[in-house]
Every structure is written in structure tokens, then in C-alpha cells.
Amino acid sequence: MTLKSILRSTTYTALVCATATLASMSISNAEDAANGVPVLSAEEVSRANQIYFERCAGCHGVLRKGATGKPLTTDITREHGFEYLRDFITYGSPGGMPNWGTSGEMSAEDIELMAKYVMTEPAAPPEFGMDKIKASWKVIVPVDQRPTKKMNDLDIENLFSVTLRDSGEIALIDGDSKEIVTIINTGYAVHISRISASGRYLFVIGRDAKVDLIDLWMEMPGKVAEVKVGSEARSVETSKYKGWEDKYAIAGAYWPPQYVIMDGETLEPKKVVSTRGMTYDTQEYHPEPRVASIVASHYAPEFIVTVKETGKILMVNYEDLDALKVTTIDAERFLHDGGFDSTGRYFIVAANARNKVAIVDTKDSQLEAIVETGGTTPHPGRGANFVHPTYGPVWATSHLGDEIVSLIGTDPEGHPDQAWKVVQMLEGQGGGSLFIKTHPTSKHLYVDTPLNPDIETSTSVAVFKIDEMTQEEPEYTVLPIAEWAGLTEGPRRIVQGEFNKAGDEIWFSVWNGLDQESAIVVVDDKTLKLKKVIKDKRLVTPTGKFNVYNTQYDVY
């Protein structure tokens, strides 16, 4: 991590400060040392805390209780022991654990440190209430000083917001010229980009819970406001219901577990709500129920907020923030990524550690179904919608834990016998898939596998032809994306395909190490041939890409 990105990451500072107690405890705990538990210096704890935040907390949790990743509580880690933990971190697994050592992304010294670190007790970071949220809020360009009309010649609808993970930036790339328009400083490791209902404002949120508001109408698009909603976060969204366009924004935090509703044009924090509470099934208290994905309903003035550890889906009505109405739907634990079906009515979200997806009817505000996906650890991103030649409209997810790609029927009126059932399971390249992609104009389904420990698998994508899914075992074509990029060093993980507005090309990130060359590879969707390689020294660790039009209108 560069000095520049460290300084930007206020979460890193907060987490280091929060472990002062842990450091003192570890240094002085002679009993632990006598029992073989590693004793770390304050400097080692600080270093390990930084690595854990950057690489581990998203899957394993700040308190290490697990969700997408396995729990790393000390009763488990101490039972496994140092050597097992060191080797597991080094080599990874087909179940989605990255091979941090063999990929070259972590040194042997750091891996040994992390194996020791997870054998010590975790310390909770400090709370982050409304006083701290308001103190972080900054309006850079007031609303009355912003343009009243679009001031540039950019085709905004075909812009791509590209996460530059480890530099704490995003790149705005023109979808036609494939040139970088500008680089914008943001929070660390932007997780998602979202577009306001009007298409004017771009919202991005970093893992350090920093939300940046970018005005795309400015002569050179740039930040107009920012705020921090916690210490760690993943999700942001804006109001889309008719009459409420651009009125509010919402961001959900991993730590503290809470969501914050903000003014849609200034990010002024209006309401902060904790998600701590009981799990839906055992009804036991959970101290860290993180906010995972959030979407905005098209059928009501509501945000749909998923709470990972408690397995609850919240329908948050924003008509009256002083008398907030929240409908709570019991779904399934360990909720994660998700997206709408092709009609925009049904929200489908993975409960990945339970190998299921939950479907919510956003029109009637009720749970429609819970579906077993048939694979291990579904991780759909927003999923992929297309019309199957036999089963009609379906939504697809791939899996972290195995090669299965599951197709779920989504048309209860036209295809009632197939609705909310797995109608077909395809076999892809293997485990470690993060995202699956298609487009209404495409005849292909793309599946990445960036976390697979096999280098040939993680540096390529599998492509299924939708018309051939009538076959009993449809075959796929492998696209050697990293080879096309001309990169020969580093992990070169291929991640997160994203279509342009027209749907005739798909972009893939070649995600390399911080000090290595990365790239974006553009593929012609009709021919599956290389169309363009985007290289620029400013493209540092590119991961997620979000086309403005497709994101604005939930096209996936």
C-alpha cells in the first residue's frame, strides 16, 4: 500500500488505534505465551491490523466471526495451529480463499505474522456515531455553485467508473475512446459505484466507509461532497422511486453495523440506524450484523437493506425520516451480494454461507422464496438475467466454492412451473468465481474465477452460449484474458466483466499487484475476440467497473 493510500484510509488509522488494548494485552499475557499462543509486539499488531483490514475483514468479519469466509475465532485458529494457518494463507483453496503466498501478493514474513495474529483475540474498533459522521461531512462544491446543465461533451451514459483498489481512487473511462477522462481520489478500495436516478451523480463507497459524491455534469467531473459512515463499509444507493429521484442516498456499514440515510445532493447525514440485534433463526443476539447489499425499490419509496449475520432484509421507507417505517423480512443468514430480476420487481440476494438465495417481492414487500442454489457459496455480484431457450427468463449465479453456475427461473406468470427453482446447473472452470455477466443484447454468459488457485483458471474467463443451453452438458469457451493483455508477471486475476451501454463489448479487469502493471481488456461480444487493451500507468489494481447507463437502469 502506498503512503498516499495509507493517508487516505482513515479506517486504517481507526483500526490501528482500536488495537492498542490488544497489543498491550498480547505483550503482557504470559499465560498465553506459556500455552503456545503467539505474543505480538505493538508494531506487529499494527502491521497485522492493516493487512487484516485490507485483505481479510470483508470475508471473515472485524470480530472474525465469519460469513463469506470461515470464522477465525481463537477456539478454531488455536486448534488448527500456526503451521496449518500459515500454509492455508500461502496456498489458498478452491473454496475461494486466495492464494496470498503463491500469487506473490503477500510476503512469507507477512503470512507468518497473519498466522500468529489470528491466534490472538480480536479487539473491536471504536463506535462511529452521528457526531463523528457529521464531523467527517464536507461539501466541496455547494449545490448553488454547480452547473445547471451538462458542461462537457462526454457521453456520460457510456462512461465507466473503474475502481483502482489499492491506490484509493476511481478512474472515469470513456466507453467510446477507451481513454481515461480523469482520476478521482476516493476512499480506500471502492467496493461499488452507484448512479443517481437522474444519471447526474455518481456515488462511490470505499471499504473505509468513505462516500464520495461526483458530479458528472461538471466540465471535468469531480467530487462535490464526501462523508464517512463508519470504519468499514461496502454499500451505497440512491432513491429511485418516482417523485423521490435524487432525494436521498443511503450507505451501509460493516463497522459499526449500521446504515446512514443522507441528502442525495450534499451527503448531509440525516439518520443513522443500528442493525445490531437477534438472528432470524436462533433469535440470539449478534454484535456484528453487517449491512451487505442495498438496492432502491422501483415500486415504493423504500431502500432494501440486507443484514448479513442476522439474515434479515429491511424494507426502509424514507417518506418520513422522523417516523421511519421499516418492514423486517426474515430470510436467511449471511446475506451478501444480489440484484434485481429482469423486471426490476424481484430482488435476489445470496445467503452465501448457507448456499441459498433469497427472493423478495419489492412490490408487495414480502419474501417470495428461499432457493437452494445447488452449489457452494453463491457469489453473484448483481447476477445475470437472460432468456433461456427452454425455461424462459432466468437469473444466474456462480459460486466461490465450486464450478457450479445455477440458473433460477424468474417468471412466475409466464413460466410458473419454473419460477423460483433452479432449472439448470452448468459446470464452469472451477471454484473462486466472483462475478457472472450477460446483457439483454448478448447471446453469451461470462463467468470469472479470479480466486481460483490455479493460475490458468484465474487468468481467464469461461463463456457459455445461451442458445446451446438446451444441451445436457453445455460446453464453454475459455478466453485467455491475461494473455491477451500481454502481462506475464503477477497474479493477473481476471475479474468483473462489465458491458458497455450498447451491449456489444464487455470489459474485464486484469487485477495485478500494487507495484505491477495492470490492464483492462475489452472483448467483442459477437466474435469473442480481443477488441482493445487499455493500459495506463494510472490503472493501479483495477477491479470493479460500472457502466453508467447499465448501473443507472439496473441492466445486468
> Which amino acids are annotated catalytic?
56, 59-60, 97, 336, 379
d(CA 178, CA 156): 13
Pair type for strands 285-286 and 291-296: unpaired
- Kindly report the number of other CB atoms within 10 A of residue 475's CB atom: 11
Cβ atoms of 495 and 437 within 8 Å: the answer is no
- Torsion angle defined by CA atoms of residues 303, 308, 309 and 314, in that order, rounded to the nearest 10 degrees: 10
- Dihedral sign (CA 523, 529, 532, 534): positive
d(CA 165, CA 132): 25
- Kindly report the number of other CB atoms within 10 A of residue 162's CB atom: 27
DSSP type of residue 53: I
SS3 content of the chain, % helix, strand, coil (to 5): 20, 35, 45
Angle between helices 10-18 and 20-28 (to 10 degrees): 40
Q: Residue 215 is inside which H or E element, if any? A: strand 210-215
Smallest CA-to-CA distance from 551 within 196, 30, 179, 182 is with 196
- b/e sequence 449-459, b meaning 16+ C-beta within 10 Å: bbbbbeeebbb
d(CA 396, CA 424): 10
Pair type for strands 269-274 and 277-278: unpaired
d(CA 14, CA 347): 34
Q: Name, in order, each residue with C-beta under 8 angstroms of 497's C-beta and a sequence gap of 6 or more.
A: 435, 437, 446, 448, 461, 506, 507, 508
Smallest CA-to-CA distance from 231 within 262, 203, 260, 207 is with 207
HEC profile of 483-538: HHHCCCCCCCEEEEEEECCCCCEEEEEEECCCCCCCEEEEEECCCCEEEEEECCCC
